[in-house]
Amino acid sequence: MTERRSSIERNTKETNIRLDMNIDGEGNSSITTGVPFMSHMLDLFTKHGHFDVTIEAQGDTEVDDHHTTEDIGICLGQVFHEAVGDKKGIRRYGQAMVPMDDALAQVVVDLSNRPHLEYRADLPGAKVGTFDTELVHEFLWKFALEARINLHIIVHYGYNTHHIIEAVFKAMGRALDEATQLDERVKGVPSTKGLL
């Protein structure tokens, strides 16, 4: 089997990012973003998705965390899309429900090549530590757009903002792991169109 791996280096006036992703990994990560909460969430995503991911990001966090968070989403999406490849033999769809203490999050994905995000999450807090929680949506939308996936996120309940976001990232890793798995019953691309 061809290794499903990709890398990117993206340098702008706002951020400098180097990112490597192996879809068929073991959940190993080396993540330095300058945004501690996002680093933590990406580590969880990697572990639960069984992806190997290296991220080195520097950004204008003295302004705020927006540019760094958004640009990591862009880069991770582009690398994921390239690493998945032609999608021959994959399951295509994946879903996961993950509890985190008081919170329950559900993520459903379709590696459809039609980017879309449905984000049904009420976050009680505007911040977790110094992190602006509105950036979770920004990250997810940019990731879905660049990964060219259909991403549905439903938070059923929860009252601790950290727990809610953590459940989302864990569930997203698990759903994408399921969707990228190779299934020997699938011949070619899993679509009646013959193309994804």
Angle ∠(36,180,29) on CA atoms, nearest 5: 30
Counting as low any pLDDT under 50, the low residues of the chain are none
What integer pLDDT is reported at residue 2 of this predicted model?
A: 80
pLDDT digits (tens, 9 = 90+) for 27-41: 999 999 999 999 999
What integer pLDDT is reported at residue 1 of this predicted model?
A: 64
**Residue partners of 68: CB distance under 8 A and separation at least 6:** 14, 15, 33, 34, 35, 38, 57, 58, 59, 60, 61
- pTM, two decimal places: 0.96
DSSP state of 63: T
DSSP state of 90: B
Q: Which two tokens stand for residue 136?
A: 């979770």
What integer pLDDT is reported at residue 88 of this predicted model?
A: 94
